[in-house]
Amino acid sequence: MNTELDEYEILMLRIVRWLFIRLPLLILVVNGINHLNKGKTGRGVAELVISAVLIAIDIFVIGRKIRKTKKQLKDPEYREMLANLSPEELAKREAFVYIKCCIGCVIVCVGLFIVMPIAIHAKGLTVCLAGGAFLTALAVFGLVWEIKAYQHPEEVVRRRNRKKPVNARRETLYKDYELGYEPAMEQYCKQTGKSETELTDADDKLIWEYAYAGISYLLAWIAEHNFYQAQESDWPLLGELIGKIKTREIPPTDYISENDGTLYEGNIKESAIGFVKEYMNNSDYVDGHEVAKPGDIIGAYYPELEAFVKEHLNAEMYGFPFRWEDYDIFKTNIDKAYKKYKAKMRKMKQEAEEN
């Protein structure tokens, strides 16, 4: 879904918030109070004023940006827009995020390591200024580099394509980003009659199964047909989990849960990855429902799953757990889609040879 940058931006904002805002804020407040108690009014007041500025930045700048980004990630239209970005647009967007991070680093470095030490007459002022100048220079260098990348995104894409090995595919095929938990919790509470405050750890585990059940039907099919492949960078446990899915010792939701709500393209064999991507992407999210794209040939996974859930399980999306008996009924849809995909590929190959 290309939402990794938003998650990265939130992470960076939280790091900046704690290391460069809240930690210095605590130190300044303590020092300010101590200086006031010792009669050093000017220095104490200066430290408390700076503390007030940091509080304002924490709440009204960083906090607001984090809330806005998290809200965007829950917007289906925003997520669809990200999914349709070209490599050049994605590179440009990535550079813009890093530009903002670099600007923030410049401001923080100048403020904390240059301006503030001078204002409070800190001990070891020379060391602070030297360190601040060095960190500021690094941030400025990064800023210049990212501005260049923003202006020429096609060069970034070209460099990445040259460096990428043929078989290296760490692109995300599915990523939950914990967005499935909230609708799953709503469905679970509706079914059980519990409120959010009454939920136990056992309930929480079941809610995550609801959240991951949708993709798990396809993952079960992938494992069952030996289309899964391990990568060198994979956690060894993941391969063991796939083995247990094949023998139906565990549900596929366990794999998604252990892999941080993620399924990577590189874990799907070349013989199936084209089908899986097309089958998953043959739909749009419209008015709260998955709708098949006009003219799709092989079928559309999510609309078919939503119809199955409504008809056979009498439930809504995110409102059901994975069960093998349900999978055995639904997998015929995937088998039919795969058969159509293979036929389409053979026809396209034949037409290419004839031309």
Q: pLDDT (tens digit, 9 = 90+) per residue, 10-20?
A: 888 888 888 87
Lookup: tokens for 43: 């220095």
Residue 299 has pLDDT above 80, yes or no: yes
Lookup: tokens for 10: 């939130």
Instruction: Count the Cβ atoms, other than its own, within 10 Å of residue 327.
Output: 20
Task: Look at residues 21, 31, 32, 30 and name the one whose alpha carbon lies nearest to residue 58.
Answer: 21
Lookup: tokens for 105: 């680093």
Q: Give the mean pLDDT of 124-139.
A: 85
Q: Give the mean pLDDT of 283-292.
A: 79
Residue 166 has pLDDT above 50, yes or no: no
What confidence score (pLDDT) does residue 128 get? 78
- Please, which residues have CB within 8 angstroms of residue 140's CB and are 6 or more apart in sequence? 102, 106
Residues 241, 155 share a domain: no
- For residue 196, being part of any structural domain is answered with no
Mean pLDDT of the chain: 86
Lookup: tokens for 294: 């006009």
CA dist 254 and 205 (Å) reads 10
Distance between first and last Cα of the chain = 36
Residues 4, 118 share a domain: no
Which residues does residue 305 pair with via DSSP β-bridges, in sequence order?
none
Residues 327, 245 share a domain: yes
Most confident of 101-105, 121-125, 184-188, 283-287: 184-188
Most confident of 40-44, 117-121, 158-162: 40-44
Residues 128, 71 share a domain: no
Confidence of residue 1 (pLDDT cuts 50, 70, 90): very low
Q: Give the mean pLDDT of 50-59.
A: 90
What confidence score (pLDDT) does residue 215 get? 95
Residues 143, 92 share a domain: yes
Residues 339, 225 share a domain: yes
CA dist 20 and 106 (Å) reads 12
- For residue 61, being part of any structural domain is answered with yes
Residue 248 has pLDDT above 90, yes or no: yes
Residues 319, 240 share a domain: yes
- For residue 18, being part of any structural domain is answered with yes
pTM of this prediction exceeds 0.75: no
Residues 112, 80 share a domain: no
Residue 167 has pLDDT above 70, yes or no: no
What confidence score (pLDDT) does residue 163 get? 47
Task: Look at residues 228, 88, 72 and name the one whose alpha carbon lies nearest to residue 153.
Answer: 88
The total domain count for the chain is 3
Residue 221 has pLDDT above 90, yes or no: yes
Range of the domain at 282: 213-354
Residue 93 has pLDDT above 90, yes or no: no
Task: Check residue 293 and report its DSSP letter.
Answer: P
Task: Look at residues 258, 260, 255, 300 and name the one whose alpha carbon lies nearest to residue 282.
Answer: 300
The last residue of one of the domains, among 84, 118, 141, is 84
